[in-house]
Amino acid sequence: MIQFAHMKILWFLLGAGLMIIGYLLYWRHRKRSLIRLGENELIEELMPEASGGAQHWKFLLLFIGTVLIIIAASGPRIGSRLQEVEQKGREIIIALDVSNSMLAEDIKPSRLARSKQMINRMVDRMSNDKIGLIVFAGDAYTQIPITDDYPSVKMFLSGAGPDMVSKQGTAIGSAIKLAVRSFSSDEKDRMAGESVPSQAIVIITDGENHEDDAVGEAARAAERGIKVYTVGLGDPNGVPLPLSPGSSSHRRDRDGQVVVSKLNDKLLKEVAAEGQGAYIPGDRINSLIDELDKLERAELKTRVFAEFAERFQYFAGFALLFLLLEFFLRTRKNRLLLRLNLFKTDE
């Protein structure tokens, strides 16, 4: 399949088409002018060196050369080629808590909105790193697999919220377990002596874990060389949960009591300690970025890009050839060739 880098230049082919019309009009005018001078046989005897066929060939060569130049200038790209790129970076998976408790507004505009702002800042600071996004509440789900496509991460992040999970709760352990399975390289690669980039899991939550063994999962991740960082958002004293973002009404439990959500920083510190990472308060995002910058960068698996191979040089080369032929082609017959008769017979 052929593509063109500059499609608009192909509009000049219409101008090349006008060359044909102009040449036909010129040749028609020329014939009429010659008819006024006399009969064709007489005119040919008076101009024995003139060659009408050569003029046609010169125009044809000029026309083809012009068309090829226009095509070459439009940047034709045919086929594809593979380009290997080597780079050093890290692999980081962010696990974002999207449970209802993250709608609390003790951090403006809300815990969840502030979390998204933090992640966007982290992504903006990344270079040559791979990043994945997991959302969790009562269970964990992969929102986007580990990738270096930062715009896609931001796009999926913008739609993250409590309505995308069917089970409410805060299963930090499930998020860690899923993140460990999501890295592109694992313990087998390390055992084989391959270069494995530093890997880290960043848990962004209020720490209200009611589902599983988050501390134990963090320890198991650390055994595999994966550091676990926790970011805590919220007020340790607790705040009522709104029914919806910006609502003045509060959520109530089955007994009619207002639901209060507290930051459990004690649990998050334990998870970070067992995961050999660090606990970062939600208002110190720069500290998290500094901690991640300490991770050693290693060569990531080679990325392969499919690119179209440029083919303009072929069109430009043939255009030059045709234009040179047109330049050297004479419109008059060569006198020496006229005198030469290879098939001369005795009369």
Residue 106 has pLDDT above 90, yes or no: no
Task: Compute the mean pLDDT over every residue in the chain, rounded to the nearest whole number.
Answer: 80
Cis amide leading into 162 (omega within 30): no
User: Which pLDDT does position 80 carry in this prediction?
Assistant: 61
Q: Give how far Cα 184 sits from Cα of 103, 145, 258, 296, Å.
A: 32, 9, 44, 17
**Cβ neighbours, 10 Å, residue 166:** 9
Residue 175 has pLDDT above 50, yes or no: yes
Q: Give how far Cα 206 sits from Cα of 18, 234, 268, 310, 321, Å.
A: 72, 6, 8, 53, 73
Contacts of 2 by beta carbon, 8 Å cutoff, 6+ apart: 76, 77, 78, 311
HSE at residue 252, side-chain half, CA atoms within 13 A, is 6
User: Which pLDDT does position 119 carry in this prediction?
Assistant: 93
Residue 193 has pLDDT above 70, yes or no: no
Higher pLDDT, 278 or 163: 278
Confidence of residue 347 (pLDDT cuts 50, 70, 90): very low
Taken in order 81, 86, 89, 95, the sign of the CA dihedral is positive
Q: Is 271 helix (H, G, I), strand (E, B) or coil?
A: helix
Residue 255 has pLDDT above 80, yes or no: no
User: Which has the closest alpha carbon to 110: 309, 247, 313, 271?
Assistant: 247
pLDDT digits (tens, 9 = 90+) for 73-103: 888 877 665 556 667 788 999 999 999 889 8
User: Which pLDDT does position 337 carry in this prediction?
Assistant: 43
3-class SS letters over 283-342: CCHHHHHHHHHCCCCEECCCEEEEEEEECHHHHHHHHHHHHHHHHHCCCECCHHHHHCCC
Q: Give how far Cα 104 sits from Cα of 57, 79, 141, 233, 250, Å.
A: 82, 54, 22, 10, 10
User: Which has the closest alpha carbon to 279: 222, 205, 209, 219?
Assistant: 205
User: Which has the closest alpha carbon to 260: 233, 231, 234, 232?
Assistant: 234
Q: Give how far Cα 195 sits from Cα of 90, 127, 185, 276, 296, Å.
A: 11, 19, 9, 21, 11
Q: Is 75 helix (H, G, I), strand (E, B) or coil?
A: coil
User: Which pLDDT does position 283 carry in this prediction?
Assistant: 83
Ordered strands of the 76-85 beta sheet: 2-4, 76-85, 303-310
Find which of 22-31, 241-250, 263-272 is predicted with most confidence, using mean pLDDT: 263-272
Mean pLDDT of 15-32: 82
pLDDT digits (tens, 9 = 90+) for 115-160: 999 999 989 988 888 899 999 988 899 999 998 889 999 999 988 8
Percent of the chain surpassing pLDDT 70: 78
Q: Please report how the helices 52-73 and 12-37 are oriented relative to each other, as an axis angle in degrees rounded to 10.
A: 170
User: Which pLDDT does position 114 carry in this prediction?
Assistant: 92
What the chain holds in terms of domains, given with CATH numbers, is 2-81+307-338 (no CATH), 87-299 (3.40.50.410)
Q: Please, are residues 162 and 100 in contact by the beta-carbon 8 Å criterion?
A: yes
Per-state percent for the chain, helix, strand, coil, to nearest 5: 45, 20, 35
pLDDT digits (tens, 9 = 90+) for 267-304: 999 999 999 999 999 888 888 888 888 887 776 655 55
Residue 226 has pLDDT above 70, yes or no: yes
